[in-house]
Structure 1
Amino acid sequence: MAGELVVWVALLLAHELLPCPGASAVGRGQFPDDFLFGTSTSAYQIEGAYLEGNRGLSNWDVFAHKPGTIEDGSNGDTADDHYHRYMEDIELMHSLGVNSYRFSIAWTRILPRGRFGHVNPDGVAFYNELIDALLQKGIQPFVTISYYDIPQELETRYGGWLSPEIRKDFGYFAEACFMMFGDRVKFWITFNQPNLFLKFAYMDGWYPPGRCSTPFGNCAFGNSSIEPYIAGHNMILSHANAVSVYRKKYQGKQGGHIGISMCSRWYEPFRNTTEDILAVERALAFSGPWFLDPIIFGDYPIEMREILGTKLPEVTTEEEIEGYKIGFYWTQSLYNIIFEGLHLLSM
């Protein structure tokens, strides 16, 4: 697939947002045969069954059950009950003409205690059945390895993404997924929009572990000026390690592809002045380039270094990232339409 640009689109359209008054639906027949027309979910948001199948507790389980954390008191204990009703969900996707489905694997279904426990055969069986059922309907699985949820065990033991220890855990988890599902899964995403996750989890305190400091938020613990960049550094290096392992040990025999999904916003200068143009460059640097520059070029944007100074971790010789070889996915949000496209797959 060298040089090939694969475009995968997941659209959530409200009727009033459709491009013309007479339009009522988007159909598979409106796209070429080789176009990947898909849907997308994340494990915690849809699976439910949080205490079934020997699944361990995730950071989201603990966070959502803490009184006062979620405004309406809801949680993902049942969610859409996808764990029990996945065959119905696949039938619904098939009826829409979908030929790709992006979902995430719940870390705690495969490794309930991270690398400190055993692989859970019940969790492996669930995802095997899901993947097989998708392929039987002609739906290509796109698998996100980490979609914000991690085993609570890792948060308790060493502070989750704030510790370099999690690089070992993520690598262990990613390789377990490659080994068990890579014979059928040909599209891997290491992280879903980690730059957005870090803002919500370590700057604003809205997502677990709910860490922040003023003026960004009012949390019991955290430092919004430093912790997002420490956690981000560990995620970038975890991505690099997983990609390296996949390429060296699995890609050749499995024939798949691997990348990362980013949330990237766009800004335009209010005036055509040096001051406004530089302000836009600074704003952009803290969006997608926060992750993509280290992944593609091997270091953080110069604008981030100038503003953060020593708060931004250094990429040392031991941690050197493989430049252009890593590859990436790019996602961009536009108004209320979620458009996930221009997925540049690593070769």
Structure 2
Amino acid sequence: MSSLGVNSYRFSISWARILPKGKLGDVNLDGINFYNKLIDGLLHKGIQPFVTLTHFDIPQELEEKYGGWLSPKSQEEFGYFAEICFKFFGDRVRYWATFNEPNCQVTMGYRTGEFPPSRCSSPLGNCTHGDSEREPFVAAHNIILAHAAAVQIYRTKYQKEQEGSIGIVLHAAWFEPISNSTPDKLAAERAQSFFLNWFLDPIIFGKYPAEMKEILGSSCQTFQAMTGKY
């Protein structure tokens, strides 16, 4: 990378490599040392590390203990993991992302079952467990609040001293109506809401898109307790 003139490198940390058993276990110092060497090696070559805290993976212990992202406990677990990373790596890392493309993660992990934990239901997928109509929204809600928890920890305890920034990486797509008719325009807006704004609106505005709330009704949760902390 250095010989090509690359000046930045984005990589993801394996949560299980740092905390194989989540909060209930010890920090795996071999994992810490691995990422320390990677970060130091990049900086030695003048390459700025851009660190994503998790890329679809979660410690198996947390999946087995309470269902991973289907449980609100995952929010606290992720915050704990994020803070360990800020403590060990934040003196050299200036650019953080909490999640990589969680809008793809929950759709393919809990709706179609193509990604772990491979949960889905007919006719959207062929899995041994899951509920394609409910679980993607439960997992997404917990991921959004986990993102908020990690951002809050960083901004209140580490950002001033470490002088870094933190955000999230979403899979972006754009939808155009096939015609200028009102039904087609509304369809494009619904598609955008259920793909990208599903995560962007809560992070920016503290609430889900109106189209989602209209379709999902009472199953569309709120963010009253977390508004203003993103």
TM-score grouping bracket, smaller chain normalisation: over 0.9
Map 1:270-309 to 2 at 5 A: 270-309=178-217
Q: Does 1:140 align with 2:48?
A: yes
Unaligned ranges ≥5, structure 2:
none
- One-letter identity of the residue aligned with 1:152: Q
Q: Which has the higher helix share?
A: 2
Deviation at 1:128, TM superposition (A): 0.5
Contact 1:146–1:192 (Cα < 8 Å) also in 2: yes
Q: Tell me which structure has the larger Cα radius of gyration.
A: 1
Partner of 1:28: none
Partner of 2:57: 149
Contact 1:114–1:151 (Cα < 8 Å) also in 2: yes
Q: C-alpha separation between the residues in 1 aligned to 2:215 and 2:18?
A: 40
Deviation at 1:264, TM superposition (A): 1.8
Q: Does 1:128 align with 2:36?
A: yes
Partner of 1:240: 148
Deviation at 1:117, TM superposition (A): 0.2
Q: Secondary structure at the match of 1:94?
A: coil
TM-score w.r.t. structure 2 length? Answer: 0.98
Contact 1:230–1:312 (Cα < 8 Å) also in 2: no
Match of 2:159 among 240, 244, 251: 251
* Cα distance per residue 1:100-131 (max 9 Å; x no partner): 00001111111111111001111111111110
Unaligned ranges ≥5, structure 1:
1-92, 327-347
Q: C-alpha separation between the residues in 2 aligned to 1:196 and 1:321?
A: 24
Q: Secondary structure at the match of 1:115?
A: helix
Partner of 2:169: 261
Q: Moved runs in structure 1, 4+ residues, more than 4 A?
A: none
Q: C-alpha separation between the residues in 2 aligned to 1:278 and 1:188?
A: 35
Q: C-alpha separation between the residues in 1 aligned to 2:107 and 2:16?
A: 23
Q: C-alpha separation between the residues in 1 aligned to 2:200 and 2:106?
A: 15
Deviation at 1:310, TM superposition (A): 2.1
Q: Secondary structure at the match of 2:195?
A: coil
Deviation at 1:311, TM superposition (A): 2.4
Contact 1:237–1:321 (Cα < 8 Å) also in 2: no
Partner of 2:113: 205
Deviation at 1:312, TM superposition (A): 1.9
More displaced 10-residue stretch of structure 1: 93-102 or 132-141:
93-102
Aligned Cα root-mean-square deviation (Å) = 0.9
Q: Secondary structure at the match of 2:158?
A: helix
Deviation at 1:314, TM superposition (A): 2.5
Q: C-alpha separation between the residues in 1 aligned to 2:44 and 2:121?
A: 49
Deviation at 1:220, TM superposition (A): 1.0
Deviation at 1:160, TM superposition (A): 0.2
Number of aligned residues: 230
* Cα distance per residue 1:36-82 (max 9 Å; x no partner): xxxxxxxxxxxxxxxxxxxxxxxxxxxxxxxxxxxxxxxxxxxxxxx
- One-letter identity of the residue aligned with 1:283: A
Q: Secondary structure at the match of 2:115?
A: coil
Partner of 2:21: 113
Partner of 1:33: none
- One-letter identity of the residue aligned with 2:34: F
Map 1:1-347 to 2 at 5 A: 93-315=1-223, 317-318=224-225, 320-322=226-228, 326=230
Q: C-alpha separation between the residues in 2 aligned to 1:238 and 1:224?
A: 21
Q: Secondary structure at the match of 2:21?
A: strand
Q: C-alpha separation between the residues in 2 aligned to 1:170 and 1:207?
A: 20
- One-letter identity of the residue aligned with 1:278: L
Q: C-alpha separation between the residues in 1 aligned to 2:81 and 2:215?
A: 35
- One-letter identity of the residue aligned with 1:251: Q
Q: C-alpha separation between the residues in 2 aligned to 1:296 and 1:268?
A: 23
Q: C-alpha separation between the residues in 2 aligned to 1:303 and 1:187?
A: 33
